[in-house]
A and B are shown apart, each in its own frame.
Chain A
Amino acid sequence: MPANFGFNPADMTRFLPEILLAVFGTFLMVLDPILQKRASYAFGHLSILGLLAALGGSLAAYNNAGPAFGGMLVIDGYGTFFRVLTIAVGILTVLPSYRFLARQEAETSEYHALLLFSIAGQCLMVVANDLIMVFIGLEISSISSYIMAGYLRDDKRNNESALKYFLLGSFATGFFLYGVALIYGATGSVNLSTVRAHVLQQNAEPVLLAVAAALMFVGLAFKVSAAPFQIWAPDVYQGAPTPVSAFLSAGPKAAAFAVFLRIFYTAFEPIGARWEPLVWGAALLSMCIGNFAALLQTNVKRMLAYSSIAHAGYVLVAITARSGDGAAALMFYMASYALMNIGAFAAVTYLSGKGDRFVDVEDFKGLAKKQPMAAALFTIFLLSLIGVPLTGGFFAKFYIFRAALESHLVWLTVLGLLNSAVAAYYYLRILVMMYMHEPSEASETVEPLSTGLRLALVLPALGTLVLGIFPNWVLEFAGKSAAMIR
């Protein structure tokens, strides 16, 4: 595709968040030798500053919406929604990290720089309209997060986590890239709009196209930890530093889902009837495996990992719906999921103590007696994960299953809803521990909430409640921008 690579100031505005994130990230790395440990909080402050700037940047970019760099990026409502979401996830990851890193005596700027780079990659992914751009974004995001998963390099589990994530992750990226190559072979282009046009005119070799779609599905299903490509998630989430697990379960996942939807709703939309059964199966399998395996977990981080697999299943239901409503439901779901999940992980960070010692379900015993505020906030997240009304999690599920029923996916809806009743059990177990038992060692010794952790719990809790009581605003935006994807 002929592209005009001449300098265009509008392109720069549209690319502003990535530029800002990269600049701040690089600046942080340079700063490390200068500041060292003397002002370790400065790293955190600076990365929040960078993220806020990027937030402003993405809004500025949206003000000037349109394609950039010859159609390789397209800045639309959908992309901006996810840009803002991943940046917000970044902020909510930095907040609990203050306390976490201080506790581990591992405050470096490299942690924050990697986070910013990873988010830059995700921001790029979600606005990419070109498979190569998607791939570059995916790689930037993934490689940074591989390193973050192994950030505490003296910790055995951190190493295991990073290695597993890296090996399986590169495999999946390989699958994705192979799919991209085949698409190029079949259609002669990697631009999503052009590919779509070719598919519509049935210019492309159907077998090649189907194989390419399947390969890309495998790669992306891995990234969103959907079954049967979910095996890495529990080990990685359990082993990684807790704030990083929170980040992994929200940021990269949201970006990967955004890409998933964009590719399958644009380029492969014309062959929707063929991939629908594939996604249908993956959705059901993810929900069942995630929920039933979570029932058996005793480690909270591992349990949340399985729960995030199950939630990936719910989101795949939205993709299966193949409608504008489905896309809007996916956007809303990712927003409320990111908030409640990152909040839940922040609560785990709060309790876990030095060296992530207290991460068992049992360790939450009696937290409500010792720290009622923290327990109450965690309760909001758990109720939202269950899907109790007046929380974001409920509306998110509601919209997804409505979209599914509009598309006549009756069985998937019934099975999915039954699954969410099963899920209630393991979330309730934490509530039982917090409220209905005498305090454990962990709750006895836990320190009062620090400012960063307090914010990391209060902000997502407020967000969860707002999405649960006044979802209009977000929903309207999602509906409007979902209609523009095609």
Chain B
Amino acid sequence: MNLLTGVLFLPLAAFLVALVLPRNSGAGRTWALLSSTGIFAASLGLLAYFDRNLGGEQFGVDVPWIQSPDIHFAISVNGVSLWLILLSTFLTPICVLISWNYIKDRGKEFYAFLLLLEFGLIGVFLAQDLFLFYVFWEVCLVPMYFLIGIWGHDRRIYAAVKFFLYTMAGSVLMLAAIIYLYVRAHTFSYPAIVDMLGSGRLVFSSQEELLLFLAFFVAFAIKVPLFPLHTWLPDAHVEAPSAGSVMLASVMLKMGTYSILHYCLPLFPGAAHSCAPWIAVLAIIGIIYGALVSMVQPNMKKLVAYSSVSHLGFVVLGIFTFEQTGLDGAVYQMLNHGISTGALFVLVGLLYERRHSLEIKDYGGVATAAPWLSTVFLVTTLASIGLPLLNNFVGEFLVLQGTALANFTWTVWAAIGVILSACYMLWMYQRVFYGELGDEVKHHVPDLSPREWAAVVPLIVMMVWMGVYSQSFLPPVTRNTAIVLKQTNVNVSYRVQAPAAKSVEVAHAR
């Protein structure tokens, strides 16, 4: 029992308390705000005690859970997952704040599911046992399904079921692969398997490795989502309530990218390398396709949703460069996307609460009616398109730099996405906030309330901080990605050396 276990189980405890609160009172939201703020404070403690000079996993806990098969409750935190956990705990209170008045029906259950979701998300980032990882992976699914399905907009049921089935279809194959790994390695422990791979005690044939890699990768790619597996995302985002969209975009999509980085690369380096060109092409298609589709969206939430497809393309591209800068950029971009797209969903949600519409054409002249809201939205927009001094710039720059080291053509194509993002975001901003002020907007769009300020200011602060002084965040990331990279390359080079005799045979056969 250490601080990390506390941070993991506090949301679960808060969830259980929320279940027994009286129905139809404000108790649910008050409790959710208090507990999620407390959890955030606890996770800051994690940051304080995290040794930045040390690479690798920290705060490790390893308790046997089930004897046969040997499953452990093994968790620890590294320089990448640390930030993702902080992102989850940071955004949960914000989600509570923006749902404060919006969620009227069955409020207690709403906040309970939000806390359960937080538990699952933290667990995914912490798990060091493949089985435990799968458990948390699936646990996240259930609360999100209910959040979309119960409190969403008109087509919520379709979106919720689509979301569930898509993810489930991907993850059952991952389960098959996890069991297969166990059958071969006789352990679920991730560090142990990586170690066995590194020392050559566990060797997969290249066909085996490819299939295993794909089983994992498809599950993760659905979550990211990588083109062409992204079709569930616009539906889920548009139909989800604001808080659901924020958690989905900011943290849940990162489950996919983090897992690609953390599992696919070190476990199946050979297959990852050989698939990299294909995946990079898909990522670039996603970047450009997402941006182009965003541009023609009449619906703000859908626009932001497709922009996520585009932004996440950068993350995947960065990972598959196998360059230090590329990986750093990918991780940084995960965090940036979490902050800035999260903020966009928060702000779009605030607009929806006022005007009850997500259609761009229903707005115009909001800058006159609500100047502060417009200012905040503008900062977020600029962050999202990658203006220097704001967060996304750093991430995109690093990714593009890494890509340039790996393959310059990719950089050129990916950079088109940056340009396009400026087009669709600014165009939307112009149509919503400038132009003629309609009567509807004039009477129904007041400026930010203190509660809304409280939700928005932390996000803006983070955007500027991450844009101006990335040194606060990057060093632990770099230490960890360097390890991932080393594991990946060691495992590859081992494989290249060991079956040398075989490749000679192949050469002869040709």
Interface residues of A (CB under 8 A from B): 369, 372, 383, 386, 388-390, 394, 398, 401-402, 405-406, 410, 413-414, 417-418, 420-421, 424-425, 428-429, 431-432, 435-436, 471-472, 475-476, 479
A236 to B40 CA separation, bound complex (whole angstroms): 55
- Tell whether, in the assembled complex, residue B173 and residue A413 are in contact, meaning their CB atoms are under 8 Å apart: no
Which B122-147 residues have a C-beta within 8 angstroms of A? 134-136, 138-139, 141-142, 145-146
A471 to B180 CA separation, bound complex (whole angstroms): 21
A-B contact sample (6 more), CB < 8 A, given A389-B136, A431-B145, A476-B67: A402-B179, A405-B176, A414-B173, A417-B172, A421-B168, A432-B161
Q: How far is the CB of A211 from chain B (nearest CB, A)?
A: 36
- Tell whether, in the assembled complex, residue A475 and residue B179 are in contact, meaning their CB atoms are under 8 Å apart: no
- Tell whether, in the assembled complex, residue B139 and residue A389 are in contact, meaning their CB atoms are under 8 Å apart: yes
A88 to B135 CA separation, bound complex (whole angstroms): 28
In the complex where A388-B142, A418-B169 touch, is A472 in contact with B176 (Cβ < 8 A)? no
Query: B136 to chain A: which residues have CB within 8 Å?
Result: 389
A187 to B173 CA separation, bound complex (whole angstroms): 45
A417 to B174 CA separation, bound complex (whole angstroms): 10
- Tell whether, in the assembled complex, residue B156 and residue A436 are in contact, meaning their CB atoms are under 8 Å apart: yes
A402 to B71 CA separation, bound complex (whole angstroms): 13
Query: A372 to chain B: which residues have CB within 8 Å?
Result: 23, 109
Interface presence of B160 (CB below 8 A): yes
Interface presence of B150 (CB below 8 A): yes
- Given B66, B134, B150, B161, which contacts A389 in the complex, CB threshold below 8 Å? B134
- Tell whether, in the assembled complex, residue A425 and residue B165 are in contact, meaning their CB atoms are under 8 Å apart: yes
A472 to B68 CA separation, bound complex (whole angstroms): 8
**Shortest Cβ distance from B105 into A: residue:** A369
- Given B135, B146, B156, B172, which contacts A421 in the complex, CB threshold below 8 Å? B172
- Given B145, B149, B183, which contacts A406 in the complex, CB threshold below 8 Å? B183
Query: A472 to chain B: which residues have CB within 8 Å?
Result: 66-67
A394 to B23 CA separation, bound complex (whole angstroms): 31
Query: B106 to chain A: which residues have CB within 8 Å?
Result: 369
Q: How far is the CB of B212 from chain A (nearest CB, A)?
A: 11
Q: How far is the CB of B213 from chain A (nearest CB, A)?
A: 15
- Tell whether, in the assembled complex, residue B149 and residue A435 are in contact, meaning their CB atoms are under 8 Å apart: yes
Q: How far is the CB of B220 from chain A (nearest CB, A)?
A: 16
Q: How far is the CB of A355 from chain B (nearest CB, A)?
A: 30
Query: B149 to chain A: which residues have CB within 8 Å?
Result: 431-432, 435-436
**Shortest Cβ distance from A389 into B: residue:** B135
- Tell whether, in the assembled complex, residue A435 and residue B150 are in contact, meaning their CB atoms are under 8 Å apart: yes
A428 to B166 CA separation, bound complex (whole angstroms): 13
Report which residue of B141, B149, B156, B176 has the largest number of chain A beta carbons within 10 angstroms of its beta carbon: B176
- Given B23, B67, B164, B175, which contacts A424 in the complex, CB threshold below 8 Å? B164
Chain B at the A interface: SS class: helix
- Tell whether, in the assembled complex, residue A398 and residue B150 are in contact, meaning their CB atoms are under 8 Å apart: no
8 A/B residue pairs, CB under 8 Å, sorted by A: A369-B106, A383-B142, A388-B141, A417-B172, A428-B145, A435-B146, A436-B149, A436-B157
Interface presence of B397 (CB below 8 A): no
Query: A369 to chain B: which residues have CB within 8 Å?
Result: 106
In the complex where A389-B135, A471-B66 touch, is A432 in contact with B141 (Cβ < 8 A)? no
Query: B23 to chain A: which residues have CB within 8 Å?
Result: 372
- Tell whether, in the assembled complex, residue B135 and residue A390 are in contact, meaning their CB atoms are under 8 Å apart: yes
- Tell whether, in the assembled complex, residue A405 and residue B66 are in contact, meaning their CB atoms are under 8 Å apart: no
Q: How far is the CB of B192 from chain A (nearest CB, A)?
A: 18
- Tell whether, in the assembled complex, residue B150 and residue A402 are in contact, meaning their CB atoms are under 8 Å apart: no
A455 to B67 CA separation, bound complex (whole angstroms): 31
In the complex where A398-B179, A424-B168 touch, is A475 in contact with B142 (Cβ < 8 A)? no
Interface presence of B59 (CB below 8 A): no
Query: A421 to chain B: which residues have CB within 8 Å?
Result: 165, 168-169, 172
Interface residues of B (CB under 8 A from A): 23, 66-69, 106, 109, 134-136, 138-139, 141-142, 145-146, 149-150, 156-157, 160-161, 164-165, 168-169, 172-173, 175-176, 179-180, 182-183
Closest 9 CB pairs between A and B?
Answer: A389-B135, A417-B172, A421-B169, A389-B138, A436-B149, A421-B168, A421-B172, A405-B183, A424-B168
**Shortest Cβ distance from B152 into A: residue:** A436
**Shortest Cβ distance from B182 into A: residue:** A402
Query: A479 to chain B: which residues have CB within 8 Å?
Result: 68
Query: A413 to chain B: which residues have CB within 8 Å?
Result: 176, 179
- Tell whether, in the assembled complex, residue B172 and residue A418 are in contact, meaning their CB atoms are under 8 Å apart: yes
- Tell whether, in the assembled complex, residue A390 and residue B139 are in contact, meaning their CB atoms are under 8 Å apart: yes
- Tell whether, in the assembled complex, residue B138 and residue A402 are in contact, meaning their CB atoms are under 8 Å apart: no
Query: B145 to chain A: which residues have CB within 8 Å?
Result: 428, 431
Q: How far is the CB of A366 from chain B (nearest CB, A)?
A: 11
Query: A417 to chain B: which residues have CB within 8 Å?
Result: 172-173, 175-176
- Tell whether, in the assembled complex, residue A420 and residue B172 are in contact, meaning their CB atoms are under 8 Å apart: yes
- Tell whether, in the assembled complex, residue B175 and residue A388 are in contact, meaning their CB atoms are under 8 Å apart: no
Query: A420 to chain B: which residues have CB within 8 Å?
Result: 172
**Shortest Cβ distance from B174 into A: residue:** A417
A386 to B150 CA separation, bound complex (whole angstroms): 20
In the complex where A405-B179, A421-B168 touch, is A432 in contact with B142 (Cβ < 8 A)? no
A383 to B136 CA separation, bound complex (whole angstroms): 15
Query: A431 to chain B: which residues have CB within 8 Å?
Result: 145, 149
A372 to B138 CA separation, bound complex (whole angstroms): 23
A372 to B182 CA separation, bound complex (whole angstroms): 40
Q: How far is the CB of B432 from chain A (nearest CB, A)?
A: 30
Report which residue of B109, B142, B168 has the largest number of chain A beta carbons within 10 angstroms of its beta carbon: B168
Q: How far is the CB of B116 from chain A (nearest CB, A)?
A: 11
Q: How far is the CB of A479 from chain B (nearest CB, A)?
A: 6
- Tell whether, in the assembled complex, residue B66 and residue A475 are in contact, meaning their CB atoms are under 8 Å apart: yes
- Tell whether, in the assembled complex, residue B183 and residue A436 are in contact, meaning their CB atoms are under 8 Å apart: no
Query: B176 to chain A: which residues have CB within 8 Å?
Result: 401, 405, 413-414, 417
- Given B135, B156, B180, which contacts A405 in the complex, CB threshold below 8 Å? B180
A479 to B156 CA separation, bound complex (whole angstroms): 44
A394 to B68 CA separation, bound complex (whole angstroms): 15
Query: B175 to chain A: which residues have CB within 8 Å?
Result: 398, 401, 417
Query: A388 to chain B: which residues have CB within 8 Å?
Result: 138-139, 141-142
Query: A401 to chain B: which residues have CB within 8 Å?
Result: 175-176, 179
- Tell whether, in the assembled complex, residue B164 and residue A428 are in contact, meaning their CB atoms are under 8 Å apart: yes
A385 to B464 CA separation, bound complex (whole angstroms): 48
- Tell whether, in the assembled complex, residue B183 and residue A402 are in contact, meaning their CB atoms are under 8 Å apart: yes
Query: A475 to chain B: which residues have CB within 8 Å?
Result: 66-68
A383 to B145 CA separation, bound complex (whole angstroms): 12
- Given B69, B156, B161, B173, which contacts A402 in the complex, CB threshold below 8 Å? B69
**Shortest Cβ distance from B136 into A: residue:** A389
A278 to B406 CA separation, bound complex (whole angstroms): 53
Q: How far is the CB of B182 from chain A (nearest CB, A)?
A: 7
Query: B139 to chain A: which residues have CB within 8 Å?
Result: 388-390
- Tell whether, in the assembled complex, residue A436 and residue B67 are in contact, meaning their CB atoms are under 8 Å apart: no
Q: How far is the CB of A187 from chain B (nearest CB, A)?
A: 36
**Shortest Cβ distance from A432 into B: residue:** B157
